[in-house]
Structure 1
Amino acid sequence: MENTNKPQQNKFGQWLKTSITARMLMVGFLVIILLIPLSYISNLITERSLRQQDVVNEINDKWGNNVLVYGPILKLPYKTYLETKTYNETTKTYLTETKTQVKYAYIFPENLSSEVDANSKTLKRGNFESAVFTTNMSFNGDFIKPNLERKGIKDEDIIWDRLKILIKTSNLKGIKNEMFINVNDSNYPFETNFNENTNDYSNYLDELESGPLEDLDFKTSEKANFNFNITFNGSKDIQIIPIGKTTTLNMTSNWADPSFIGNFLPNDETKEITKNGFKADWKVIHINRAFSQQYLENIPNLNEFAFGTKFMVMVDEYQKSERSAKYGFLVIGLTFLVFFLIQTMSKINIHPFQYLMIGLALTMFYTLLVSISEHSNFLKAYLVAGISVIFLITLYAKSILKTIKFPVFIGLSLTALYTFIYVIIQLENYALLVGSIGLFIILAIVMFVSRKIDWNND
């Protein structure tokens, strides 16, 4: 029995060593096996990225969230009358009773101009950082005397001495100055209106309400000029809602990577973006947006019409590491292909265990990349991880291949491959184009090198 099995085992082992098909199957199997640690590494990157986002959200919550300003809005009380009739059984007649109710009309300004200056900086916590800003916002404009007759409200039913002004914002906690509004040279302080539904940014905003505008008399004046200033600590974005019949916004900042968001874009003629910051101007007139200048009883949710600037963080370290890890299959596959072609053409035997060690070294690149990038920038982390892995595999190849030319070729190939992947990661609009061209060139080289291999040697 022993004499029968040994020749069969020797024959199978010899087939593994000499058969090209066997080596191809072995290499393919190892590539699939190495997808398991790659998937764990991808999960690690995702976990660290989510941790970063949690820390950023915590920093932003304490410093100040996104800034959205909706106002000023004139809050105008008026009287309405409700008649009720009751039947008197004794007198066999109807008694009419009139009740007076006070409701509110909300009037938007005729003109609204805003100057915004945002100074950005970074806040760090541990290995993570968040981009935040302090913005000074100044508003001025005017209200014209409200005319509610078209809505069925008589002028004598309006309670002029109880006029107030409202301002809504998404970042009440981030306000850093006492709030006053100047109307026709008289100052009126603001107080907070509590709104228990302020957790949903998309639907509810915090309210600031002024005291009664006692010095404003629309009976003798057709216009009321206003101005006020707000200083915010904020993050993510700055937006306003264009409630003026004519609304203008001028924004400047030292932030070099703005993203203009919302329903309206800034004027191309005046927009400037440099490495030192940006400047942008908007102008929106009433026919550009589909809402009225006057509302009764309720203020509508007009958040969908907001516009402004998002303080965009360009692709961060975790996003770059995640994109790099997506090419892990390509790196391992091409590296194994180089070793396979060298083994096939030079007749040097490479054991499956040695392939496995090379594959594990390649996967270590991504853990090194993530861990180092948390303490440095992505470029330095990429260089350190890449040089370490290339040097390790080149030395290991030297011990396997017993020559110098093949390890040098492998080192140069890995250097070119990691450089190619880094270029793709940095590109956004042309990543697919450059990647496709690069893969085409790699395929052409492999086809050229392998054209003289005898694939029938099984």
Structure 2
Amino acid sequence: MQKKLLFKALIVGMLMLLLGVPLAMIQSTISERIAYREEAASSIAADSVGEQHIYGPVLVMPYSEVYSVEEKDKDGKPEMKRYRKQSQHLVFPNELEVLSNLGTERRHRGIHQVLMFNGAHKINGDFIVPAATELPHTENGSQITPERPFIALAVADVRGVRDIPRLVWGTRSVEFEQGSGLRSSRQGLHATLSMEEAAPGPVKFSFNLNLAGMNSQGFVPLARNNRFVMSSPWPHPQFSGRFLPEQYSLDAKGFQAVWRISSLASEAQAQLRLREQSAGQGENALPALDTIQAAFIEPVNVYSMADRATKYGLLFVALTFAAFFLFEVMKRLPIHPVQYLLVGLALALFFLLLVSLSEHYDFVASYIAASAACIVLIGYYLAHVLHDWKRGLGFGGALCALYGILFGLLNSENNALMLGAILLFAVLATIMVATRKVDWYNLNNPAPMPVEQT
């Protein structure tokens, strides 16, 4: 009997490993669907607009500088040579406040969908405009000739600009034009000022920017004092970047987040100046900028959830086969390897049903439908295999508990390891308790009959 039991255990183990092949194929199918979704997202971004990243406004003050340098001629005699140099000086806001309201919508490409947003940004603050004598000089005594300054606003994808904004500069209004005017980032907008409008001293500014994008919205804290307020009806934000919100509120109606960042905490000003100096040396030579960012994430990514579920597929099969094997041992009711295989295939098909249904319907509803179909099928089949409908119902109830535990694992990513460890311990404990009185050496021998004493 021991050899027969060992042989049956080896066959069951081989069947379990064999079922890893369809599970791997299903996981490969899910990976392909993930790739298709990413292609759809890239296609939508290529046809409409991508992730958004804004830095500015920055006051750019171009100027020409004429200076003299003493050099030696061919005969070694000193002579004065005059040079002209074109430069620009970046002036950052003293105070900057950005109030952003970000509405969301979905764009579809086939069966795939991508989350888009429409941002309404109210941007205001003030600059302290320097005098021409305060512009950086290459040589002492050089002559500075200021040129018309402009306000630069870099935008990652200008296709998202929904209308032409107007800059309110002091008491005057100036329309933005295409191109940021910055050397390191050409994409964006600029508003050209007159020399009179750039007179030295403090000046207030404001403008509204309607900007659409996909996935995330980011800003760079370039001012001396920065305040960003983002609000949206989307209840699933993800904050990232160099700084997290100072405070935020989140509920079913959406979120609101507030950042307050000073130039003492950020190196964005120095980074942008270095980017302007390094422009033309390639993208890799440009330093990254300190940013704040809010991403709009899906609460349930059906493909990632299905992919995680398939990782527990072999565990599902192993637990079910272990229950069958114990049933054989304890009830002395043989189960054919083909019956093991059919039940294992039904368990594997659950994952394929899950991902195919969830592409069209809500994930929770798809999970319930796929698990219910498999539980009913397996329960009905086992009621006939085990010659008792109660036994079929018992296995069906155990599968209900197993699918319920899997759903808990999928929705508790942070606690998945702990829950999985508890599940395995509980299964092992159940097996040990159930088989505590089994005599594995005498499974084929009937229990001895008690002897009546006369």
TM class, shorter-chain normalised? 0.7 to 0.9
Aligned to 1:173: 159
Report the CA distance shift for 1:108/1:405 in structure 2 as closer, same or farther (over 3 A): same
**Residue 65 of structure 1, aligned match among 27, 32, 50:** 50
Task: Quote the offset at 1:131 in angstroms.
Answer: 1.1
Give the aligned residue type for 2:27. S
Aligned to 2:191: 210
How many Å separate the matches in 2 of 1:53 and 1:211?
40
Which protein, 1 or 2, shows the higher relative CO under an 8 Å CA cutoff with sep ≥ 6? 1
Alignment check: 8 A CA contact 1:86 1:95 kept? yes
How many Å separate the matches in 2 of 1:316 and 1:108?
41
Aligned to 1:276: 253
Aligned to 1:24: 9
**Residue 168 of structure 2, aligned match among 171, 182, 207:** 182
Which region of structure 1 is more displaced relative to structure 2, 172-181 or 156-165? 156-165
Report the CA distance shift for 1:155/1:290 in structure 2 as closer, same or farther (over 3 A): farther
How many Å separate the matches in 2 of 1:311 and 1:86?
63
Aligned to 1:307: 292
**Residue 222 of structure 2, aligned match among 243, 247, 252:** 243
Task: Quote the offset at 1:402 in angstroms.
Answer: 1.3
Alignment check: 8 A CA contact 2:249 2:257 kept? yes
Alignment check: 8 A CA contact 2:180 2:190 kept? no
Give the aligned residue type for 1:276. K
Find out whether 1:77 has 2:65 as its counterpart.
no
Aligned to 1:223: 202
Task: Quote the offset at 1:85 in angstroms.
Answer: 4.3
Give the aligned residue type for 1:331. F
How many Å separate the matches in 2 of 1:376 and 1:150?
62
Alignment check: 8 A CA contact 1:105 1:296 kept? no
How many Å separate the matches in 1 of 2:141 and 2:103?
46
Task: Quote the offset at 1:194 in angstroms.
Answer: 8.3
Report the CA distance shift for 1:384/1:101 in structure 2 as closer, same or farther (over 3 A): same
Find out whether 1:262 has 2:246 as its counterpart.
no
Report the CA distance shift for 1:205/1:386 in structure 2 as closer, same or farther (over 3 A): farther
Task: Quote the offset at 1:211 in angstroms.
Answer: 2.3
Query: What is the aligned residue count?
Result: 432
Q: RMSD of the alignment, in Å?
A: 2.7
Determine helix, strand or coil for the equivalent of 2:388: coil
Give the aligned residue type for 1:448. V
TM-score (norm 2): 0.88
Aligned to 1:135: 119
Task: Quote the offset at 1:126 in angstroms.
Answer: 2.3
How do 1:25-424 residues align onto structure 2 when only pairs under 5 Å count?
25-80=10-65, 81=67, 83=69, 85=71, 87=73, 95-146=79-130, 149=134, 151-152=136-137, 157-193=143-179, 204=185, 206-218=187-199, 221-268=200-247, 271-292=248-269, 295=273, 298=276, 303-424=288-409
Q: Deviations over 1:85-138 (max 9, x none)?
A: 46366xx95553312222111111111111101011222232211111100111
Gaps of 5+ in 1: 1-14, 198-202
Q: Deviations over 1:120-163 (max 9, x none)?
A: 12222322111111001111111112267484368984444511
Give the aligned residue type for 2:432. M
Alignment check: 8 A CA contact 1:20 1:455 kept? no
Report the CA distance shift for 1:50/1:298 in structure 2 as closer, same or farther (over 3 A): same
Tell me the percent identity.
28
Give the aligned residue type for 1:285. S
Task: Quote the offset at 1:245 in angstroms.
Answer: 0.4
Task: Quote the offset at 1:209 in angstroms.
Answer: 2.6
Alignment check: 8 A CA contact 1:113 1:249 kept? yes
Q: Deviations over 1:344-396 (max 9, x none)?
A: 11221211111111111111111111111111011111111111111111121
Task: Quote the offset at 1:186 in angstroms.
Answer: 1.8
Determine helix, strand or coil for the equivalent of 2:360: coil
Give the aligned residue type for 1:40. M
Task: Quote the offset at 1:217 in angstroms.
Answer: 4.1
Determine helix, strand or coil for the equivalent of 1:362: helix
How many Å separate the matches in 1 of 2:275 and 2:19?
65
Alignment check: 8 A CA contact 1:105 1:295 kept? no
How many Å separate the matches in 2 of 1:67 and 1:304?
14
Which region of structure 1 is more displaced relative to structure 2, 325-334 or 100-109? 100-109
Report the CA distance shift for 1:250/1:156 in structure 2 as closer, same or farther (over 3 A): farther
Give the aligned residue type for 2:231. T
Aligned to 2:448: none
Alignment check: 8 A CA contact 1:241 1:302 kept? no
Task: Quote the offset at 1:247 in angstroms.
Answer: 0.6
How many Å separate the matches in 1 of 2:249 and 2:49?
27
How many Å separate the matches in 2 of 1:240 and 1:348?
68
Report the CA distance shift for 1:85/1:255 in structure 2 as closer, same or farther (over 3 A): same
TM-score (norm 1): 0.87
Report the CA distance shift for 1:261/1:216 in structure 2 as closer, same or farther (over 3 A): same
Alignment check: 8 A CA contact 2:379 2:393 kept? yes
Give the aligned residue type for 1:68. H
Alignment check: 8 A CA contact 1:88 1:95 kept? no
